[in-house]
Amino acid sequence: MLHPSETVKKRVSTIPERPGVYLLKDKHKKIIYIGKAKNLKNRLKTHLIGSPSEHPRLRSLWSKISNFDYIPTDTEMEALILEANLIKMHLPRYNVRLKDDKKYPYIKVTVNEDFPKVFPTRNLKKDGSILFGPYTNVKTMKRALRTVKKIFPVRNCKQTIPSAKRPCLNFYIKRCYGPCQGYISKEEYRSMIEEVCKFLSGKNRTVENELSKSMESTSNELRFEEAARIRDQLLAVREVVRRQRVVFKDELDRDILGLARIKNTSCVVLLQIRDGKLTGQEHYILTQTKFTDDAEVVATFIKQYYKSAYFIPNEIVIPTKIEDTPLIARWLSDKKGHKAKLILPKRGEKLKLVDFARRNGLVILEEKEMKDKARLPFPIKELQKVLSLEKPPITIDAFDISDLFGKDACGSLVVFEFGRPKKSNYKRFKIKTVESIDDYAMIQEVVGRRYRRMIKEKKSMPDLILIDGGIGQVNVAKRVLQDTGIRTVPVYGLAKRLDELVLPDGKTLMLPPSSYALRLLQRIRDEAHRFALSYHRILRSKRLKKSIMDEIPGIGKSKKIALIRYFGSIQKIKEASVEELEKVDGVGKSLAERVYTSLHKTNT
């Protein structure tokens, strides 16, 4: 068993006794756990000095620690925020991880503009805009957006303001107030956007009351057209409010969290209660190690979700007691500007809603598990079985090298998902560092370039890597992966001669010709070979065309283009006489003779 070295343990004595964040690393310098501490020195002593904990998760973590870094902060609150940011950035193995929320849509309100727009986005770029979400159900997001645009005629055009162009169709069908023509003031428009933000936060009763007051005041001021416009908005908001179910009579804003778990996957269901009414439900999938306790899952979710939330309710009802409850409540209160509480219910309506959310989460996880199993093609299931893989090889990367006596060498990567080619993820590699005929060095370059880039871009690794070749190529690929810190992805080779499957330990496996798993591997290998060969032909063709024309003195880029445009191809230029060559603009008799002579020398 590995354990922290004596040098690492000595470093602990130099750590300051102050708040901060610590980053535990394995022998490959990869971050495996990020935590925060009120006292860095004391916390790191528990991780690095003495015997490993009896808790299976902590014992496993202790066995892999090789080094650490730490970042001191002025307050424990700063450490809490920094910890949440670093976990989201590095996604360490032993931390609870909220599944990539970049894939989820948000509703964006561009409040950084004079006349903001409201539209869906998956781009989380920080540009001063307000983001509502993430919406785990796209239909829910689209429904919310349609409702907003029906009630509030916000602009969605890209016209500059003011614009010299006539207003767009939305203005004529009363879906936009025409800010591009100056038909609504900046102040009026901003006031409407504030109502949009409240509406998207679920504060529909507040929006209803404010619209009612606004309609009354504009009517009293004899601005009847504007009052009629507000009346239409008010009626639409009231219809939304009418459909919502009353849960609490105190009309407080609450978020109810329910936690469900199956194996290494958790689901947090969030019920949004606004003004005492249930206004929405979202669910979020998290992954963690088998022995992570419920408290850490819930605490991680709260820190990750509310870190970027626009609206924070008065109460967050949690399903289990969590560490640092007062600190997290103070952080939420600072973000909200008013007091926010974390409440663990013991009885009553709140406990019933937590249990309701938990049961919903269990249904979601069970449906997810059934869908994942149901959609796995049989060859994938068989491949997992014959190779004894821990999980089904849903994503398979396959590499092939193509060259002609060392010239125009290139590599290809094809990606298969659920047994089907995903051509949008195919990659071509022009070999840059190898000039001789050396398949091993070429595999080393291509595989290294692929996965170093994936690590840099924080992309998910494949479930299996297939190399076209034997044990030599497999060993090279494994060594490259280990050097880049990737140790959990299995690498197999498929030799062309007997369709032998080369295993990671160097042994070979002969699958029967009738095996669906073998047919899938053959198909993947042949597709990688086809893709590499097609790129090799492109490179070779470019080289041949370039060498023929570029070796002729006096032929620059413009004349080369003129000749090809006139004749249509290199072959037609070769077949042309000197008189025919002279007919091309810019090509005189002397140059025509030179082109004719050079091309016919090439043919001989």
Residue type, 214: S
Same domain, yes or no, for 438 and 522?
Answer: yes
Same domain, yes or no, for 228 and 358?
Answer: no
Q: How many domains does the chain have?
A: 5
Same domain, yes or no, for 390 and 535?
Answer: yes
Same domain, yes or no, for 242 and 260?
Answer: no
CATH number of the domain at 451, please.
Answer: 3.30.420.340
pLDDT bracket for residue 230 (50, 70, 90): confident
Share of the chain above pLDDT 70, in %: 88
Is pLDDT of 6 > 70? no
Is pLDDT of 53 > 60? no
Write the pLDDT tens digit of every residue in 509-521: 888 888 899 899 9
Query: Which tokens in the block code for residue 551?
Result: 């070796």
Same domain, yes or no, for 524 and 403?
Answer: yes
Lowest mean pLDDT among 97-101, 322-326, 331-335, 460-464: 97-101
In a domain, 1, yes or no: no
pLDDT bracket for residue 133 (50, 70, 90): confident
Same domain, yes or no, for 390 and 475?
Answer: yes
CATH number of the domain at 43, please.
Answer: 3.40.1440.10
* Cβ-based burial of 337 (10 A; exposed 0-12, middle 13-18, buried ≥19): exposed
Same domain, yes or no, for 106 and 91?
Answer: no
Is pLDDT of 1 > 50? no
In a domain, 545, yes or no: no
Give me the chain's average pLDDT, please: 81
Q: Span 304-330, mean pLDDT?
A: 88
Lowest mean pLDDT among 61-70, 417-426, 540-549: 540-549
In a domain, 292, yes or no: yes
Q: Is the peptide bond before 179 cis (omega within 30 degrees of 0)?
A: no
Same domain, yes or no, for 305 and 181?
Answer: no
In a domain, 168, yes or no: yes
Is pLDDT of 45 > 50? yes
Name the most confidently modeled range: 38-47, 286-295, 512-521, 588-597: 512-521
Q: Span 226-231, mean pLDDT?
A: 74
Same domain, yes or no, for 213 and 262?
Answer: no
* Cβ-based burial of 124 (10 A; exposed 0-12, middle 13-18, buried ≥19): middle
Q: Span 488-497, mean pLDDT?
A: 84
* Cβ-based burial of 296 (10 A; exposed 0-12, middle 13-18, buried ≥19): middle
**pTM of the entire structure?**
0.55
Provide the H-helix boundaries in 243-284: none
Is pLDDT of 545 > 70? no
DSSP output for 459-522: PPPPSEEEESS-HHHHHHHHHHHHHTT--SS-EEEE-TTT-PEEPTTS-EE---TT-HHHHHHH
Beta strands in 315-439 (DSSP E): 315-317, 341-343, 395-404, 407-417, 420-421, 427-430
CATH number of the domain at 365, please.
Answer: 3.30.420
Report how far Cα 223 is from the mean position of its chain's Cα atoms.
49
Q: Of 95, 112, 127, which marks where a domain is finished?
A: 95
Query: Which tokens in the block code for residue 165?
Result: 């162009």
Cα angle, residue 519 at apex, residues 515 and 521 outer, rounded to 5°:
115
Q: How far apart are CA 255 and CA 71, in angstroms?
A: 32
Q: Span 466-477, mean pLDDT?
A: 89
- What pLDDT score was predicted for residue 2? 44
Write the pLDDT tens digit of every residue in 397-419: 999 887 665 566 778 889 998 88
- What pLDDT score was predicted for residue 543? 60
In a domain, 564, yes or no: yes
Same domain, yes or no, for 425 and 522?
Answer: yes
Residue type, 514: S
- What pLDDT score was predicted for residue 604? 44
In a domain, 308, yes or no: yes
Lowest mean pLDDT among 164-168, 462-466, 524-528, 542-546: 542-546
* Cβ-based burial of 370 (10 A; exposed 0-12, middle 13-18, buried ≥19): exposed
Residues 6+ apart with CB under 8 A from 573: 563, 564, 567, 581, 595, 599
Buried b (16+ CB within 10 A) or exposed e, 302-331: bbbbbeebebbbbbbbbbeebebbebbbbb
Q: Which domain holds residue 394?
A: 381-540
Provide the H-helix boundaries in 91-160: 138-151
Write the pLDDT tens digit of every residue in 166-208: 888 878 777 788 888 788 888 888 888 888 888 777 777 777 7
In a domain, 546, yes or no: no
Q: What's the CA dihedral at 559, 561, 562, 564 to 10 degrees?
A: 120
Q: Of 246, 281, 311, which marks where a domain is finished?
A: 246
Same domain, yes or no, for 199 and 343?
Answer: no
| Torsion region of 405: left, alpha or beta (phi above 0 gives left; psi -120 to 50 gives alpha) | left
Q: How far apart are CA 589 and CA 337, in angstroms?
A: 84
For the chain, helix (H) and strand (E) counts, in that order, are: 20, 21
CATH number of the domain at 564, please.
Answer: 1.10.150.20
Same domain, yes or no, for 286 and 420?
Answer: no
Q: Of 64, 95, 126, which marks where a domain is finished?
A: 95
In a domain, 49, yes or no: yes
- What pLDDT score was predicted for residue 143? 79
